[in-house]
Amino acid sequence: MSTLKRSFFQLYQYAFISAAVWIAVGSCQSGKDAALNDPALAEGKQLAQQHCAGCHLVPSPDLLNKETWVKHVLPAMAPNLGLEVYSEGVYYAGAKASISFDNWQKLLLYYQTLAPETLEGAKAPEPVTNDWAMFSLEKPRLDTTQTAMTTLVAMDTISHQLYSSDAFQNNLYRWNRALQPTLFNRLNSAGVSATFFRDKTGIEHGVFSCLGTMRAADISKGELISLTIAGKQGADSSAVATDLPRPLQSVSADFNKDGLTDWVVCGFGHNMGGLYWLKQGANHQYTKLPIREVAGASQAVTGDFNADGWPDLMVLFAHADEGIWLFLNDKRGGFTERNLLRFPSVYGSTSFQLVDFNQDGRLDILYTCGDNSDYSKVLKPYHGVYIYLNEGGERYKEAYFYPINGCTKAVATDFDQDGDLDIATIAFFADFKHNPAESFLLFEQQKPLQFHPHAPPVNRLGRWICMDVNDWDNDGDADVILGNFSKTFIIQEGLKPTWDTHLPLIVLTNKTR
């Protein structure tokens, strides 16, 4: 587009929006419902449903503030409708656009008018106890020559060893009981998940998902690497799969019941990604088969969810069309897909766990949202930890919510050994200016689905991006390992790290027993 044309379109758009906003705001004084009586806003809402619902759950304007909608989210979405974005506020609808210029302005107007000026972050609903709860601290010796960019902490419960990986040098470390590290292997990219198992001959293996790139880009350089767990360094390294779209996790099962272990990879990708079945053949080579080829696959759990004797999958997708899907094995080399929970596209889903909270024999869903590294880098009141109770028939109902800015992961287990489930949470995008203690919380369940939060004083030791819960000291209770990613991804203006930038991990040892 020429400079002259661009200037004309910019003037036209500003005039259109300014006039329309003036009219709409006049009709907004009695509230949001009254505002939707304005024909322009009502049409904008209908256009949002028409053009956005095909890709994801349509978000309400009040989920973000005006500036974030107008300057960041909507400009990022415009190319998906075929619009060209030339500069801030300047759009052009060419012949291939699926929405006209005038209709795009109405859609913009709907969000710009009804969105709040500011958005409050998550606020704790009750006082938090600042104590160590049942934990004591163990940490490695500080090495100030290293920058902590930990991407993985994982307990190997077979040989009882701790592993970590980082995005600074792409190394895989093994830690002894004194928290002294040994370089176990040099990876091609940062490891982000690990699975440990023994083969039929009794040899232990570790299978590591390696991200490929930390950048939010469609670069398929991820790998699934198998290492023999023996000796001082990993031996007999082999690639199960390469050229994967930013894999975040891999899980194993014999999905076609041919006696061979297969893998399913969550390829988060960026604009492109998918959930893939790596089917093992008789020659022990793997064929990659797509199960659901959309971006955002981030976590999977295997299980026989319909009790037919065949392994199924439950999977969290955390990009655009966010939610939890059930994939039932069709026993013919494929899966039947069903959506269980769906979340607005700005939630930033981060993790889930299947666990029976109310002890009724059905697996409930523990869910977190809090990813703030995309287009809406503002604190959000709906970020936090949720419990959805399983009502049967593949129906789940929200039964608990605790707001935590930037919540990244939650793990439920009986930390205090009193017969019910407690919850540990981390928040990589916590409100470090006003409430840094929320970066790690321990929720002690005192009555059914009533939890008291504890904030152990660990926020100055690191910025926690990964967590594993296992019995580190082999005393029969659950300990917590936290991984510190200390650099970059800072979204709060003027925030400087108040946390240690060198300590790669810490262990919170449970002293219940």
Adjacency order of strands within the sheet including 235-244:
191-198, 204-210, 222-228, 235-244
Query: Residue range 253-267: average pLDDT?
Result: 98
Give the model confidence (pLDDT) of 399-425 as tens digits: 999 999 999 999 999 999 999 999 999
Residue 447 lies inside a defined structural domain of this protein: yes
Same domain, 472 and 403: yes
Same domain, 451 and 486: yes
Residue 355 lies inside a defined structural domain of this protein: yes
Query: Residue range 434-446: average pLDDT?
Result: 98
Same domain, 454 and 405: yes
Residue 106 lies inside a defined structural domain of this protein: yes
Residue 332 lies inside a defined structural domain of this protein: no
Same domain, 98 and 130: no
Is the model's pLDDT at 21 over the cut of 70? no
Q: How far apart are CA 252 and CA 261, in angstroms?
A: 7
Which residues, including other chains, have CB under 8 Å from residue 185's CB and lie 6 or more apart? 171, 172, 227, 233, 234, 237
Give the model confidence (pLDDT) of 197-243 as tens digits: 999 899 999 999 999 999 999 999 999 999 999 755 555 789 999 99
Give the model confidence (pLDDT) of 303-319 as tens digits: 999 999 999 999 999 99
Is the distance from CB of 288 to CB of 241 less than 8 angstroms?
A: yes
Dihedral (C-alpha) 241, 247, 248, 251: value to the nearest 10 degrees? Answer: -40
Worst-scoring range by mean pLDDT, 18-27, 219-228, 284-293, 480-489?
A: 18-27
Q: How far apart are CA 255 and CA 60, in angstroms?
A: 39
Same domain, 466 and 498: yes
Q: Determine the pLDDT at residue 95.
A: 87
Same domain, 144 and 49: no
Q: Determine the pLDDT at residue 497.
A: 94
Angle among Cα 137, 140, 142 to the nearest 5 degrees reads 115
Q: Determine the pLDDT at residue 90.
A: 86
**Number of structural domains, the chain?**
2
Read off the amino acid at residue 9.
Answer: F
Q: Determine the pLDDT at residue 464.
A: 98
Percent of the chain with pLDDT strictly greater than 70: 92
Same domain, 40 and 101: yes
- Give the pLDDT band of residue 34 (cuts 50, 70, 90): low
Averaged pLDDT of the chain: 92
Please count the CA atoms within 13 angstroms of the CA of 138 that sit on its side-chain side.
Answer: 16
Residue 202 lies inside a defined structural domain of this protein: no
Residue 162 lies inside a defined structural domain of this protein: no
Look up residue 181 and give its two tokens. Answer: 């590290």
Q: What are the angstrom distances between the C-alpha of 46 and each of 57, 89, 106, 369, 470?
A: 14, 22, 10, 27, 49
Domain coverage including residue 107: 27-114
Angle among Cα 57, 318, 55 to the nearest 5 degrees reads 35
Cβ count within 10 A of residue 181: 19
Worst-scoring range by mean pLDDT, 30-44, 46-60, 125-139?
A: 30-44
Q: What is the CA radius of gyration of the chain?
A: 24
Q: Determine the pLDDT at residue 237.
A: 84
Longest CA–CA separation in the chain, Å: 76
Q: How far apart are CA 100 and CA 107, in angstroms?
A: 11
Give the model confidence (pLDDT) of 69-99 as tens digits: 999 999 999 999 999 998 777 898 988 899 9
Is the distance from CB of 209 to CB of 193 less than 8 angstroms?
A: yes
